[in-house]
């Protein structure tokens, strides 16, 4: 399948990317679900102008690229590819999207202790932003043990003084909305919680954060903002950043 602009991924039936891109700009944007075998054919054929990339291909596409910007290299994942005369360049606008979310919601990171739940592809851009903003300490909490990975039990025992919590795991995502990745009760120093899930609009984790009067932000702004910054790469021009807020409100209405 060839498309001028679109999204590569494995399971895309719940994606809002088409609606978001077409609301942000005036091009047609296609959802392009691909198996791993189909991904190879698609990337080598290069019959596209620019595409976004989502789970599980943000790392898998890298061998097909001719260049990556420094940010994508440091994160080790690509979510935006632009085809310039057959030369493919990779970018990571998840970084821009998460940074936009923090700034828009006035969430302070510098000098703060941050808990990040999950250590998959979605976490890498988040971690890069937190490091770039000089977080005092970043604790990665995951069910998979590894170097520098903290268990949920250790988080509850040792890190209740965290000021910010970011969930990058899929726990609590539609349709399993009764689940939460962590009980916030022992974390008495929290001032803000960001859950990069955007469906449902208020996850169980965010509902608990709201009940305590904390700043509670879901992933919709990040989703729209990363699409906005990707579109700038696609078109090689500056767009009006006010569109992010406009489209976020538009999509949020459909999630209520």
Q: Which residues are catalytic?
A: 58
Measured between alpha carbons, how far is 79 from 68 in angstroms, rounded to an integer? 11
Closest CA to 206 of 245, 163, 255, 173: 173
Measured between alpha carbons, how far is 216 from 193 in angstroms, rounded to an integer? 5
Whether the CB-CB separation of 216 and 209 falls below 8 Å is answered with yes
Burial (CB count within 10 angstroms: exposed 0-12, middle 13-18, buried 19+), residue 61: buried
CB environment 217-231: b (16+ within 10 A), e (fewer): bbbbbbbbbbbbbbb
The DSSP line for 46-75 is T--SEEEE-TT-TTTTGGG-SEE-HHHHHH
Measured between alpha carbons, how far is 195 from 205 in angstroms, rounded to an integer? 8
Measured between alpha carbons, how far is 108 from 32 in angstroms, rounded to an integer? 37
Q: Give strand ranges (E) for 131-241.
A: 137-141, 149-150, 164-167, 192-195, 215-217
């Amino acid at each position: 399948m060839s498309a001028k602009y679109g999204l590569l991924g494995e399971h895309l039936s719940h994606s809002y990317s088409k609606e978001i891109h077409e609301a942000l700009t005036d091009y047609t944007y296609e959802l392009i679900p691909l198996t791993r075998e189909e991904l190879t054919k698609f990337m080598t054929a290069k019959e596209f102008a620019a595409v976004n990339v989502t789970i599980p291909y943000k790392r898998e596409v890298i061998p097909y690229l001719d260049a990556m910007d420094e940010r994508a290299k440091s994160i080790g994942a690509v979510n935006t590819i632009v085809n310039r005369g057959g030369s493919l360049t990779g970018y990571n606008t998840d970084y821009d999207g998460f940074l936009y979310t923090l700034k828009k919601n006035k969430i302070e990171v510098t000098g703060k202790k941050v808990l990040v739940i999950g250590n998959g592809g979605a976490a890498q851009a988040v971690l890069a932003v937190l490091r770039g903003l000089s977080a005092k300490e970043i604790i990665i909490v995951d069910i998979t043990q590894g170097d520098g990975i903290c268990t949920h039990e250790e988080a509850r025992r040792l890190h209740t003084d965290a000021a910010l919590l970011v969930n990058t795991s899929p726990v609590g995502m539609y349709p399993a909305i009764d689940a939460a990745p962590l009980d916030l009760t022992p974390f008495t120093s929290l001032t803000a919680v960001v859950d990069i899930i955007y469906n449902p609009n208020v996850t169980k984790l965010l509902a608990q954060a709201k009940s305590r009067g904390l700043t509670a932000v879901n992933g919709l702004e990040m989703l729209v903002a990363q699409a906005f910054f990707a579109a700038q790469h696609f078109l090689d021009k500056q767009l009006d950043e006010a569109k992010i807020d406009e489209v976020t409100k538009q999509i949020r209405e459909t999630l209520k």
